[in-house]
A and B are shown apart, each in its own frame.
Chain A
Amino acid sequence: MQQSFQMRLVDGPVNGHWAQESIAGPDAGCTLVFFGTVRDSGHLGEVVHLDYQAYPEMVEKEFAKIASEVLQAFEILRIAIEHAVGRVAVGECSVAVAIAAQHRKDVFAAADKVMAELKTRVPLWKKEVCVDGSEWRGQGS
């Protein structure tokens, strides 16, 4: 079973195509693509857009650790993650997590684990820009 992990940061919103194509293969019996999208309501009210910032070298290292843990913990084949940096408008996607597995059993839990770890460990930050002000959001938001 050939397991793999890939990730990339993208200027502006992501569309998930790269992530989905990266995990494709004849050994996969299912593919899950999770999209995180920007909602219109935030801590300060109506959201205009989010501004994402990253510490790229460390993002890559942390995602690699998370992927290694998830590939060990679940019966899945491949993971690919795209995350936005810069501006992402309401309704656009800030993150795409694609997971391929032989069977569907573990893909949902694996995607959930990737997102949970992303939100606590990966050095990415979002600033909520709202109609009535803006602020950097804290852990897990």
Chain B
Amino acid sequence: MSHLRILLFAGLAETCGSTFLEVELPSVCTVAELELLAITANPRLHHATFRVAVNSVYADATDLIPEDAEVAFLPPVSGG
């Protein structure tokens, strides 16, 4: 198991009442599994729309979370 802090932004941070979430990860964990763990830890994420970034790159559901990765949950973007 390893400890992971997930960065949250904008409306997602407001929904969760924090700019980060903390979860315990199994030694091998995909992005999809991480999402389930995070939603279980914080049910307010259940109806939220977000994409996952790992080390500042958009990740796919089947990607593995590397050790010491920086992970962020990104709500729909709206720059410009």
CB atoms of B79 and A138 under 8 A apart: no
90-141 of chain A: CB within 8 A of chain B:
94-95, 115, 118-127, 135-141
CB atoms of A95 and B56 under 8 A apart: no
What is the interface residue range for chain B against chain A? 10 to 19
CB atoms of B10 and A136 under 8 A apart: yes
24-75 of chain B: CB within 8 A of chain A:
49, 53, 56-58, 70, 72, 74-75
CB atoms of B11 and A136 under 8 A apart: yes
With beta carbons under 8 angstroms apart, the residue of A61, A125, A127 that contacts B79 is A125
Known contacts A61-B56, A125-B9: A55-B79 contact under CB 8 Å: no
Q: What number of A residues sit within 8 Å (CB to CB) of B?
A: 29
CB atoms of A122 and B76 under 8 A apart: no
A-contact 0/1 string along B2-35, CB 8 Å cutoff: 0000010111001000000000000000000000
Q: How far is the CB of A53 from chain B (nearest CB, A)?
A: 5
Q: How far is the CB of B21 from chain A (nearest CB, A)?
A: 15
With beta carbons under 8 angstroms apart, the residue of B10, B57, B72, B80 that contacts A95 is B80
With beta carbons under 8 angstroms apart, the residue of A36, A123, A127, A135 that contacts B77 is A123
Q: How far is the CB of A117 from chain B (nearest CB, A)?
A: 10
Q: Give Cα A66 to B53, complex, Å.
A: 17
Known contacts A125-B11, A136-B11: A57-B56 contact under CB 8 Å: yes
Residues of A within 8 A of B (CB): 36, 52-55, 57-58, 61, 83, 94-95, 115, 118-127, 135-141
New A-B pairs, 9, CB < 8 Å, besides A61-B56, A124-B78? A55-B9, A83-B80, A118-B79, A119-B80, A123-B74, A125-B9, A125-B75, A127-B11, A138-B76
Q: What are 15 inter-chain pairs, A to B, with CB distance below 8 A?
A: A36-B80, A57-B56, A58-B56, A119-B77, A121-B77, A122-B79, A124-B79, A125-B9, A125-B10, A125-B11, A126-B78, A136-B75, A137-B78, A139-B77, A139-B78
